[in-house]
Amino acid sequence: MTTLTYKGYVAEVTVDVDAGVLHGEVVNASAVLTFSSKTVGGLMPAFEDTIADYVDWCAERGVEPGKPYSGAMTLRMDPAIHRAAAERAATHRVSLNQWIVRTVECELGQRPASVTHDDLQRRVAIGVRDEVIRVMSSRTIVSGETIPDVWSTASTAPVVRVIQ
């Protein structure tokens, strides 16, 4: 799958071999926006036209177009989880916001996760088998090794830095 970006909107492009077209769908708009092209060269103009049509459509109706994600959001959670997250952030010497962003990035495979051997053993002991398998099947970096630039790699497998 390929992604395109235009004016902050992101579209995922897939190939429909049977129909012989490239199909795009905007993934970060509040409306369902799609476009297609029979050629690679026609994809970007089709995407741009779709965004322009959407903005015009909204203007005709006096509606504000759904903007791409701003990066700001509100979380609601159990107070005990909030406390535990804040304590974990403090042990890492980062703000709660930074810790949440790093945790989400790790889960999305966009940042190396740090785990200790004790953490892995604890997860096995409490029966979190799938999590241990996910961690162990990741590319593992032992403490002291250079962590690769995971933001520029095409791999979706998370990188795990094992702290000894």
Residue 25 inside a domain? The answer is yes
Give yes or no: residues 122 and 103 share one domain. no
For residues 164 and 162, give the distance between their C-alpha atoms in angstroms, rounded to a whole number. Answer: 6
Give yes or no: residues 125 and 94 share one domain. no
Domain that holds residue 134: 109-164
What pLDDT is attached to residue 67? Answer: 67
Give yes or no: residues 97 and 118 share one domain. no
For residues 66 and 29, give the distance between their C-alpha atoms in angstroms, rounded to a whole number. Answer: 6
Q: How many CA atoms lie within 13 A of 110 on its CB side?
A: 6
Cβ burial 32-70 (10 Å sphere, 16+ → b, else e) = ebebbbeeeeebbebbeebbeebeeeeeeeeeebeebee
What pLDDT is attached to residue 130? Answer: 56
Alpha carbon 3 to its chain's center: 13
**How many domains does one find in the chain?**
3
What pLDDT is attached to residue 156? Answer: 47
Give yes or no: residues 37 and 19 share one domain. yes
Residue 133 inside a domain? The answer is yes
Give pLDDT tens digits along the chain (164 positions).
789 999 988 899 999 999 999 999 998 887 889 999 999 999 999 999 999 999 999 899 888 887 666 677 888 999 999 999 888 888 878 889 888 888 887 777 666 666 666 766 776 677 665 555 555 555 555 555 554 444 344 444 445 555 54
What pLDDT is attached to residue 120? Answer: 66
Which runs of consecutive H residues, i.e. helices, occur in the chain? 43-61, 79-91, 96-107, 117-125, 129-136
Give yes or no: residues 142 and 121 share one domain. yes
Give yes or no: residues 45 and 9 share one domain. yes
Q: Is 115 exposed, middle or buried (0-12, 13-18, 19+ CB in 10 A)?
A: buried
Residue 37 inside a domain? The answer is yes
Residue 67 inside a domain? The answer is no
Give yes or no: residues 115 and 158 share one domain. yes
Give yes or no: residues 22 and 6 share one domain. yes
What pLDDT is attached to residue 110? Answer: 67
What pLDDT is attached to residue 151? Answer: 39
Helices then strands (H, E): number in the chain? 5, 7
Give yes or no: residues 139 and 102 share one domain. no
